[in-house]
């Protein structure tokens, strides 16, 4: 039973993390290849504040605040770059974060941080907290997607120049996407740290950024439901098939390549295509019906 609770907790944190990237990349079209840095920042903030004696529940909003603040800084840098250059910029942020953490002994350096107080909750209660936060995040994403802000995000993703011509303050909305998305990643990081009670720089490198990007792409960029399904499935796979754990980056990278090559819309696109085929086939089948 402990294994199942641990797995579900990890899945809940992964869903929260994937939805945070989906808000930036899926909703607003801003490619981020260094999103794990914000997960790491949230984790380190929570761990350090816990060591300083701050209650666990106080570390979550502070982790979100600092991760969101860094997200705004990265967002400001992204205003002058697009597409491939934006991806390179965000990837650089990820490498910079790891480099800083490795060199700072007060952050544990290469050895990471351990021995900080936990959440004080038992495993079941912590699982419930993680699932509640994941559901609230999904609800927030759905609300944003269907709101005026979501429509503006979609317009920026489709054609940024047209939105500027229409008088939309594109920089403000880009910064909003980065602020909210990275703040949610900070919350996921705080939960990650408190769940494992150990963090190190290797947990927040480029591989983790590719992993979460794979979840978004496989699920379907911009889809809340299918990104959630993809995040849950890809997180559980190494537990179901032990050999995947040794080749995790290879498997996820392969899935990312296959989806971009054969189904850019991910699972959401595949489902939509099947529904469209079924919808077109239904009238044809009805027309061919032999009536008595």
Q: How far apart are CA 228 and CA 12, in angstroms?
A: 9
Mean pLDDT, 10 residues at a time, the chain of 292 residues: 88 96 92 92 93 90 95 84 78 91 86 81 92 96 93 90 89 92 96 90 88 91 93 83 66 80 82 78 54 44
Contacts of 51 (CB under 8 A, 6+ apart): 113, 115, 116, 117
Identify the burial level of 195 via C-beta atoms within 10 angstroms of its C-beta, where 0-12 means exposed, 13-18 middle and 19 or more buried: buried
Q: How far apart are CA 185 and CA 99, in angstroms?
A: 20
CATH topology of domain 2-207: ABC transporter involved in vitamin B12 uptake, BtuC (1.10.3470)
> pTM score, two decimals?
0.90
Give residue limits of the domains in the chain.
2-207
The CA–CA distances, whole Å, from 144 to 12, 149, 180 equal 20, 6, 11
Q: How far apart are CA 147 and CA 142, in angstroms?
A: 9
pLDDT for 80: 76
């Amino acid at each position: 039973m402990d294994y199942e609770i641990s797995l579900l907790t990890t899945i809940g944190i992964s869903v929260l993390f994937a939805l945070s990237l989906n808000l930036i990349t899926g909703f607003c079209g801003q490619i981020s290849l260094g999103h794990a840095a914000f997960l790491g920042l949230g984790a380190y903030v929570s761990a350090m504040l816990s060591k300083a004696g701050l209650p666990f529940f106080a570390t979550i909003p502070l982790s979100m605040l600092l991760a969101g603040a860094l997200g705004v800084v990265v967002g400001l840098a992204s205003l002058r770059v697009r597409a491939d250059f934006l991806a390179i910029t965000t990837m650089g942020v990820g490498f910079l974060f790891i480099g800083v953490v490795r060199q700072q002994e007060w952050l544990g350096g290469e050895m990471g941080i351990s021995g900080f107080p936990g959440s004080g909750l038992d495993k079941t209660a912590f699982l419930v907290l993680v699932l509640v936060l994941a559901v609230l995040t999904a609800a927030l994403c759905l609300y944003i997607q269907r709101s005026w802000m979501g429509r503006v995000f979609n317009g920026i993703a489709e054609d940024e120049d047209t939105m500027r011509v229409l008088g939309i303050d594109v920089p403000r909305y880009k910064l909003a996407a980065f602020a909210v998305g990275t703040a949610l990643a900070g919350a996921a990081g705080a939960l990650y740290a408190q769940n494992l009670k150990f963090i190190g720089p290797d947990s927040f490198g480029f591989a983790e950024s590719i992993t979460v990007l794979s979840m978004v792409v496989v699920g379907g960029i911009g889809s809340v439901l299918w990104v959630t399904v993809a995040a849950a499935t890809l997180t559980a796979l190494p537990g179901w098939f032990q050999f995947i754990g040794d080749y995790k980056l290879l498997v996820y990278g392969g899935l990312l390549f296959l989806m971009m090559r054969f189904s850019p819309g991910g699972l959401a696109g595949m489902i939509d295509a099947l529904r469209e085929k079924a919808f077109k086939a239904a009238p044809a089948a009805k027309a061919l019906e032999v009536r008595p």
